[in-house]
Amino acid sequence: MNKLLYIAKRLVLGVPVVLFGLTMTFVIIYLSPFDPTTAILGRDADPQTARQLAVALGLRYPNGQPIPLWIQYWNFLTDTITFNFGQSWVVTRGQSAAQLVWERMPATIWLGLWSVVIALALGIPLGLYAGLRANTWGDYTASFGGIVWRAMPNFWLAVMLAGVLSAGGVLSFYRGFLIPTDVIGTPAALGNLFGSYSLGPIGIPVPDPYNWAVAFKWILPAALVLGSSSMGNEVRIGRTAVLESINAPYIDTAKAKGLSERVIIGKHVARNAMIPLLPVIMGEFYLLIGGSVLVELIFGIRGLGNLFLSAVLASDVPIIGALTYVFILILVFFNIAQDVAYTLIDPRIGLEGQED
C-alpha cells in the first residue's frame, strides 16, 4: 500500500479516538459537581447576574430553563473541533483560551524537546553499551544508574535540584557558569531565539546563538529531571533488547559470513534492538512534549502543564477543553508516527502491520 494512502487511513482511524477523548472530557467536566457561574462570580454572586452569566455561557436559555445536556455536548464538540475554544473563565478572565494556550506552548515544547534529547542521547547508548558488555562492571554501572534514575520520583528530584541550584551550595556556581542565568521561571530568551536579521530574499530567520545558549542553560535542570525516568526506561529495555538480538540465530549467520563486528552491531543488533524501544520512545515523546505539571510548577515554568493545573483547580472549562484537544491531537500524531517508523526500521513489516 502506498505510504501516503496508509497515513491517510491512519488519520481517518484517529478521528474516533479524538471524538472519544473529547466525549470523556465533556462527561468528566459537565457531570462533575461544580457550577461554572460560581467559579467565575464566587459564592456570593447576585442571582440575577449569575443567571445572565449562565445564559452567556450557553448553560441556560434566556427564560432561565437549563439547556439540554446533549445540546451542550454538541456545542462543546463542534466548538472544540473547530478550535473555537472561547474565552478563559477564571485563569485569565476574558482572554482567548486559544491565545493563552499558544502563548504557553513554546515553554512546554522547549522543555519537552530537551527532555527527549537528553533521554535519547544518554538512555539508548547506555542501554546498548550495557547489553554489549553484559555481566561486566560497565554493564553493572550503567544498569544501576538506569535503575536509580528510574526509581527517583520526578517531584523529589525537581525539588532537590531546584533547591540546590537556586538556594546556594555545591552546585550554586551553575547559575553564573559561562552565561549568567537563573533556573526558576521561564527564560525570556525563549521569546527571541531568532534575531532581527533574516537570510536571503524570502526572509529566513537567523538563529541567535546567545539566546539559544541562555534558553538551553536555563531549562537544562528541568529537562534533566523530566527526562530522567525516561532515560532509565531506555537503559533497561535497551539492554534487554540487545541481549535478545545478540543471541538470535541471524547473528551467528552474520558472523559465519565474515561480517565485521561494527557491521553486525550497527546493521543488525542496534537496528533490531530499536523495535521494542520504539513504542517506549514514542510514548515518552508524548509525555515529555505534553509537559509535566509538577516539574513546571516546581521550576516556575509557564507552560501547558502549569496552565492545565491552574485551569482544573479553577474549573476553567474553555482552557481544559483546549488543552485536552491539543494533547489528544499530539497523541494521535505520535501513534501514526510510530506505525510509520516501524516500517522504516524493519522492512519486513508491511504498511498493514503484517510481514511481507
Residue percentage of the chain with pLDDT more than 90:
0
pLDDT at residue 42 is higher than 50: yes
Note the pLDDT of residue 354: 47
Greatest Cα-to-Cα distance within the chain, rounded to the nearest angstrom: 86
Q: What is the pLDDT of residues 238-247, one digit of tens each?
A: 888 888 777 7
pLDDT top residue among 42 and 67 = 67
When the pLDDT of each residue in the chain is averaged and rounded to a whole number, the result is 79
- Helices 137-151 and 209-246 pack at an angle, to 10 degrees, of 120
Q: What is the pLDDT of residues 292-349, one digit of tens each?
A: 788 888 888 888 888 888 888 887 888 888 888 888 888 888 888 777 777 776 655 5
Domains in the chain, CATH or no CATH each: 101-314 (1.10.3720.10)
pLDDT at residue 356 is higher than 50: no
Query: Confidence class of residue 355 from pLDDT cuts 50, 70 and 90?
Result: very low
Note the pLDDT of residue 28: 82
> What is the spatial distance between Cα 238 and Cα 37, in angstroms, rounded to a whole number?
52
Note the pLDDT of residue 346: 64
8 Å CB contact between 143 and 128: no
Note the pLDDT of residue 353: 46
Lowest mean pLDDT among 6-20, 211-225, 249-263: 249-263
Residue percentage of the chain with pLDDT more than 70:
87
**What is 76-117 written as a DSSP string?**
HHHHHHTT---B-SSTTTTSBHHHHHHHHHHHHHHHHHHHHH
pLDDT at residue 218 is higher than 50: yes
Note the pLDDT of residue 129: 83
Note the pLDDT of residue 169: 63
pLDDT at residue 113 is higher than 80: yes
Lowest mean pLDDT among 23-37, 113-127, 140-154, 339-353: 339-353
Note the pLDDT of residue 290: 59
pLDDT at residue 266 is higher than 60: yes
> What is the spatial distance between Cα 291 and Cα 112, in angstroms, rounded to a whole number?
6
pLDDT top residue among 55 and 171 = 55
Note the pLDDT of residue 201: 60
8 Å CB contact between 221 and 299: yes
Query: Confidence class of residue 168 from pLDDT cuts 50, 70 and 90?
Result: low
Query: Confidence class of residue 1 from pLDDT cuts 50, 70 and 90?
Result: low
Q: What is the mean pLDDT of residues 79-89?
A: 86
CA 285 to chain centre: 6
pLDDT top residue among 101 and 145 = 101
Task: Tell how strand 204-207 and strand 194-199 pair up.
Answer: antiparallel
Q: What is the mean pLDDT of residues 254-278?
A: 76
Q: How far is CA 55 from CA 48, 95, 317, in A?
A: 11, 19, 16
> What is the spatial distance between Cα 337 and Cα 347, in angstroms, rounded to a whole number?
16
Question: Quick one: which of 115, 110, 93, 26 has its CA closest to 310?
Answer: 93
